[in-house]
Amino acid sequence: MLDAYIGVLVLWPLVAGLACLVLRGPGVRSALVLATAAAMAVGALGVASQAPVLANPGFLSSETALHVAEAAAFILPAYFLFRGLMAKHLLVIVFATAQLALAAYGATQLAPAAATQSAVVVDGLSLALMLVVSFAGSLICVFALPYMKHHEEHLHLKTSRQPVFFLVLLAFLGFMNGLALANDLRMFEAFFEATTLCSFLLIGHDQTEDAKKSAFRALWLNCMGGAVLHAGILLIQKQFGVADIQAIVSPAMWTGASLLPIALLAIAGCVKAAQMPFQSWLLGAMVAPTPVSALLHSSTMVKAGVFLCLRLSPVLAGTMTGRLLLLAGAFTFFAASALALGQSNAKKILAYSTIANLGLIIACAGIGTPVAVAAGIILLVIHAATKGLLFLCVGDMEQTIGSRDLEDLRGIVSKSPVIALAAVAGSMAMVLPPLGMLVGKWAALEAAAQCPVSMVLMALGSALGVVCWVRFAGTLLSGRSADPKAPSRSSLSSTPILAMLAGAVGVAMAAPWINALLLPADIAATALSGGWGLLPALFVLAMLSWIIGMKAFSRQSAATLATPYICGLPSAEKGSFIGALNRNWTLSEGNEYATEIFGEAKLTKLLGVLAGALLIALVGGAII
């Protein structure tokens, strides 16, 4: 049965996507997406029930499958090169050519790597990513059904592009599951590059000038990351002649050997995870439809990068390379948190927050100890649930009012109370106990105690994050919408949001059991054991606070709303006053974004240079 479950996770999304392309009716498409979501949930639970396990499903372990993976090392860069030539994009041409040259060198100059003992590995890390992809990713695809219908109506498209959109969206999930489960570097690289293809197609889906520009930016940066990944794989193949990932991440294998290949793989992971100075591709992806943003941030693409770094963590532990990766991740966490504070675009706030939290996970990978890896896995799972929830909420609110600016979202709780309160809950889950992100950050800080500089950066980044998320939640709850009439909403739109909310809360409540399920015994054994402690009391307190708050909120309609005292002569116009020089002033409220301190134009270049220097030092440390 295990082979069947893995087949459902990897192959079924691609088959369903092709069916969406051929059978173009909206009803059939909805049925296929819903069936895929159900099938992936069953498949994920089936694989989880047999974990930990090593397996050799025929479609991933056969010689034919390996030949396909080796061919993909030529086919995908060749397609990227073709698109670069068509668009006359120099950077895409350069890095796609580099990928082809490396693939040709490996195929002609190096002996083939030894066969892996197991094509698939299901351990705590791969299981965590697989569950995130299968559940969070599926919910996002369901949300995309009504969203894309409204999106295309807004764009006034004569011919729907949804068949191609859902083909790529569903295939993305299959490729990510293949990446999570692969134990052969050649298969891993094929899935890794396939995610680059999917992201390029999805970011450029709307075919506007901004969309094309952002898609090619994502393509050239990820082609660069792919070239670095392939270089690292070739060095491993030349040095050890193996492609078995479980063997490669064994510290004993690297005794007395240069860690340059590991450093290159880690940098490839940083590019895929949009770490500074490579963050621009993820920020540019915000032009894509919201389901694409949600998928890239919560369950695909960027998670592939942190997954790779966490997979390398046993080799990184206690090394100069690991310490420099820790510092690079902690620096990105601090820098991206600072940049998020200067944003009023809700999607950009979420994007910088994603970059920051992925930096924290990569810092955990750099530490490499069992406690740090545990913290990284917990952060990966909880971040996927909360960020997926927040992106879906922002996408729904954007379609409701036609704007994603935080100031325009002020008081939207009076227009869309359920969605706004779900977004507030997601915001609080990022910073407040007993919800999970705080627990993960706490564990990361504890693990980073060996490096005081990184610990300070993490503490500062966490403090900036609190300010950012409290401001975000407070804005949604402040004031009243100018048009309080609630919009009509499809159940396929609201159900994924509520399910994601339940998942975010459920993951936090079930953290001890998830910890035991996902983590190997040597990691779990390091945890403190004891009774329930204050956990039940914290949840009771949280529920009481929620009930009291909801009761107070329900009574606000009966309250008398008074205009603020504006310290000037009253004006005939509502909300304005006559002030100095007998001028008429309109009263307005808004957040302080301190762009003179935290603005992108002021900080991005400097922070990018510093982050780049850390990654150069990472390579230097590996060589030394």
**Per-residue pLDDT, 528:** 46
In a shared domain, residues 193 and 310: yes
Mean local confidence (pLDDT), 132-146: 92
Mean local confidence (pLDDT), 442-470: 84
Last residue of a domain, one of 258, 283, 316: 316
Mean local confidence (pLDDT), 568-594: 68
Q: Which position has the token pair 């100059």?
A: 109
Write out pLDDT tens, residues 165-182. Answer: 999 999 999 999 999 999
Q: Flag whether 511 is in a domain.
A: yes
pLDDT bucket at 562, cuts 50 / 70 / 90: low
Q: Flag whether 611 is in a domain.
A: yes
CA separation for the pair 514, 441 (Å, rounded): 17
Write out pLDDT tens, residues 488-517. Answer: 667 778 888 999 888 888 887 776 676 666
Q: What average pLDDT is seen over the chain?
A: 85
**Per-residue pLDDT, 536:** 67
Q: Flag whether 40 is in a domain.
A: no
Model confidence at 284: pLDDT above 70: yes
Least confident of 229-238, 314-323, 590-599: 590-599
Q: Which residue has the higher pLDDT, 256 or 200?
A: 200
Write out pLDDT tens, residues 398-428. Answer: 888 888 888 888 888 888 888 888 999 888 8
Give the residues across from 105 on adjacent strands.
none
Last residue of a domain, one of 316, 341, 376: 316
Q: Flag whether 43 is in a domain.
A: no
In a shared domain, residues 301 and 351: no
Model confidence at 184: pLDDT above 60: yes
pLDDT bucket at 218, cuts 50 / 70 / 90: very high
In a shared domain, residues 228 and 289: yes
Last residue of a domain, one of 316, 335, 357: 316
Question: How many CB atoms are located within 10 Å of the residue 159 CB?
Answer: 6
Q: Flag whether 533 is in a domain.
A: no
> Which amino acid, residue 423?
A
In a shared domain, residues 309 and 326: no
**Per-residue pLDDT, 527:** 46
In a shared domain, residues 335 and 438: yes
Q: Flag whether 126 is in a domain.
A: no
Largest CA distance in the chain: 86
In a shared domain, residues 195 and 209: yes
- Crossing angle of helices 491-509 and 511-518, rounded to 10°: 80
Mean local confidence (pLDDT), 381-386: 89
> Which amino acid, residue 373?
V
pLDDT bucket at 483, cuts 50 / 70 / 90: low
pTM: 0.89
Stretch (H or E) spanning 578: strand 576-578
Write out pLDDT tens, residues 43-98. Answer: 999 999 888 888 888 778 788 888 899 999 999 999 999 999 999 999 999 999 99
**Per-residue pLDDT, 482:** 60
Q: Which residue has the higher pLDDT, 193 or 513?
A: 193
Give the 3-state secondary structure of residue 576. Answer: strand
CA separation for the pair 236, 250 (Å, rounded): 13
CA separation for the pair 350, 373 (Å, rounded): 24
In a shared domain, residues 512 and 617: yes
pLDDT bucket at 575, cuts 50 / 70 / 90: low
283-292 in b/e burial notation, b at 16+ Cβ within 10 A? bbbbbbbbbb
Is the backbone of residue 208 left (phi > 0), alpha (psi -120 to 50) or beta? beta
221-234 in b/e burial notation, b at 16+ Cβ within 10 A? bbbbbbbbbbbbbb
Percent of the chain predicted with pLDDT > 90: 41
**Per-residue pLDDT, 32:** 94
CA separation for the pair 253, 41 (Å, rounded): 37
In a shared domain, residues 397 and 349: yes
Mean local confidence (pLDDT), 198-207: 92
**Per-residue pLDDT, 525:** 46
Model confidence at 529: pLDDT above 60: no
Domain that holds residue 371: 322-525+591-624
Q: Which two tokens stand for residue 145?
A: 């059904």
pLDDT bucket at 560, cuts 50 / 70 / 90: low
Least confident of 332-336, 399-403, 434-438: 434-438
In a shared domain, residues 402 and 454: yes
In a shared domain, residues 280 and 407: no
**Per-residue pLDDT, 248:** 92
Q: Flag whether 31 is in a domain.
A: no
**Per-residue pLDDT, 173:** 95
- What number of residues does the chain have? 624
pLDDT bucket at 144, cuts 50 / 70 / 90: very high
CA separation for the pair 129, 352 (Å, rounded): 21
Question: How many CB atoms are located within 10 Å of the residue 96 CB?
Answer: 27
Write out pLDDT tens, residues 462-478. Answer: 899 998 888 888 888 88
Model confidence at 617: pLDDT above 70: yes
User: Which residues does 53 contact at the CB level (< 8 Å), separation at least 6?
Assistant: 2, 122
pLDDT bucket at 558, cuts 50 / 70 / 90: low
In a shared domain, residues 261 and 345: no
**Per-residue pLDDT, 526:** 46
Q: Flag whether 205 is in a domain.
A: yes
In a shared domain, residues 472 and 421: yes
Write out pLDDT tens, residues 225-260. Answer: 999 999 999 999 999 988 899 999 988 888 878 899
- Give the chain's domain count: 2
Q: What is the 3-state secondary structure (H, E, C) of 208-241?
A: CHHHHHHHHHHHHHHHHHHHHHHHHHHHHHHHHC
